[in-house]
């Protein structure tokens, strides 16, 4: 018999794929998003419009009778005002926690990010014991880290059980962010390799990202003490050379590979100037997206791949395919 679940941010890449998977499994799904999404209704999802960043009064009762909440909604932009990131990522998460408590929802799976522990250095094969940094170069990882800490702190045996997942660089069929951004920048001649191009990273195929969420919810429902209050890295467990992967994506899209590059130190200097200009313009009410930011430069020039052994052991998560197989599947489905 199906269960009832809520997905916040159901119109996003992860939220939509997760809602579809739950529907296919025979569950009832309610999506809470700022906008209406006809495609969710077509799937059989009950789509509610609500702003999780405001307050819980207008929507918390829709959580009554739910077996669990998947909190995927987030501000994932690379640049913007701190207040915007804080409102969605921190206040919104606090409101979701409060709504779960009011409605008596027993389980909460939070979509976090490996960027919460990004400190600008190479992160090679680390596990979840790696500490949060003292300083962040961008509002996105800073506010996601605060939200993750509050989700994990909210875990309470006999009441609300919580877990945080850290999928890295999510992509695949239906991607509206990562691959489209890479392709658009390359087509516009605005994509440059940062550093020597040797950095190795994890990526996460959307089907496996969704499966990790389902595994996490199942674990909270059946063995909550095994995972409650813990974060987990999620990926294909198949690290790739970042720029080799990008070149492969571009080739499959009929776009020339990246040939120009910038030394990391120069890219950081340019990013610092661009951020300064953008901050100054914000004072006059003008919002622009810097082409480079310090956080983006660091992400593009350092190695960051993670151990998923804890997710395998505690959640029963296992990637369904290699990165090469996922590439073949993605672009064959898009053809």
Q: Nearest-CA neighbor of 74 among 56, 88, 54, 94?
A: 88
User: Residue 223 sits in which domain range?
Assistant: 4-243+296-334
Is 279 a member of any domain?
A: no
Of 206 and 61, the one with more pLDDT: 206
Two tokens, residue 147: 């939200």
Helix%, strand%, coil% for the chain, nearest 5: 45, 15, 40
Q: Which residues contact 156 (CB under 8 A, 6 or more apart)?
A: none
Average pLDDT over residues 283-309: 91
Residue 315, pLDDT > 90, answer yes
At 221-277, the pLDDT tens digits run 999 999 999 999 999 999 999 999 999 999 998 999 988 899 999 999 999 999 999
Angle in degrees, 0-180, between the axes of helices 264-282 and 294-301, rounded to the nearest 10: 150
Is 251 a member of any domain?
A: no
The pLDDT of residue 154 is 97
Average pLDDT over residues 152-157: 96
Is 291 a member of any domain?
A: no
Is 248 a member of any domain?
A: no
**Which residue among the candidates 5, 140, 205, 317 is catalytic per the annotation?**
140
The pLDDT of residue 333 is 62
Is 75 a member of any domain?
A: yes
Is 197 a member of any domain?
A: yes
Residue 1, pLDDT > 80, answer no
Q: Count up the domains in the chain and report the number.
A: 1
Is 259 a member of any domain?
A: no
For the chain, what is the total number of helices (H) and then of strands (E)? 13, 15
Average pLDDT over residues 295-323: 95
Strands 230-234 and 193-194: unpaired
Is 289 a member of any domain?
A: no
The pLDDT of residue 49 is 83
**If you search the block for the tokens 């006809």, which residue do you land on?**
38
CA distances for 174 relative to 5, 139, 192, 228, 334, angstroms: 22, 26, 25, 30, 9
Task: Kindly write down the DSSP assignment for every residue of 272-330, as one continuous string.
Answer: HHHHHHHHHHHTTT-----S--HHHHHHHHS-EEE--HHIIIII----SS-HHHHHHHH
CATH number of the domain encompassing residue 329: 3.40.50.720
> Which H helix or E strand runs over 171?
strand 170-171
At 97-150, the pLDDT tens digits run 999 999 999 999 999 999 999 998 999 999 999 999 999 999 999 999 999 999
Residue 140 known to be catalytic: yes
The pLDDT of residue 87 is 94
Rg (CA), the chain: 20
The pLDDT of residue 167 is 97
């Amino acid at each position: 018999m199906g269960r009832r679940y809520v997905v916040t941010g159901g119109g996003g890449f992860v939220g939509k794929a997760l809602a579809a998977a739950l529907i296919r499994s025979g569950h009832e799904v309610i999506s809470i998003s700022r906008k209406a999404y006809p495609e969710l209704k077509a799937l059989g999802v009950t789509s509610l419009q609500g702003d999780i960043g405001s307050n819980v009064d207008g929507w918390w009762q829709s959580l009554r009778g739910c077996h669990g909440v998947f909190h995927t909604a987030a501000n994932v932009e690379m640049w913007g005002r701190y207040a915007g990131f804080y409102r969605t990522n921190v206040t919104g998460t606090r409101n979701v926690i409060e709504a779960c408590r009011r409605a008596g929802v027993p389980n909460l799976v939070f979509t976090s990010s490996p960027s919460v522990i990004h400190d600008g250095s190479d992160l090679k094969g680390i596990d979840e014991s790696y500490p949060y940094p003292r300083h962040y170069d961008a509002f996105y990882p800073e506010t996601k880290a605060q939200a993750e800490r509050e989700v994990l702190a909210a875990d309470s045996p006999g009441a609300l059980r919580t877990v945080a997942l850290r999928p890295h660089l999510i992509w695949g069929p239906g991607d509206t962010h990562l691959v489209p951004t890479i392709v658009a920048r390359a087509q516009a001649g605005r994509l440059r390799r940062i550093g020597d191009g040797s950095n190795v990273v994890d990526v996460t195929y959307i089907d496996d990202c969704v499966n990790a969420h389902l595994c996490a919810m199942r674990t909270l429902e059946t063995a909550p003490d095994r995972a409650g209050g813990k974060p987990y890295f999620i990926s294909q467990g198949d690290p790739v050379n970042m720029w080799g992967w990008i070149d492969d994506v571009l080739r499959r899209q009929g776009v020339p590979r990246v040939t120009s590059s910038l030394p990391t130190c120069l890219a950081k200097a340019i990013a610092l100037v661009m951020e300064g200009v953008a901050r100054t313009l914000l004072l006059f009410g003008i919002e622009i997206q810097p082409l480079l930011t310090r956080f983006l430069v660091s992400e593009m020039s350092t190695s960051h791949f993670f151990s998923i052994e804890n997710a395998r052991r505690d959640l029963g998560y296992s990637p369904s395919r290699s990165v090469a197989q996922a590439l073949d599947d993605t672009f064959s489905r898009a053809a």
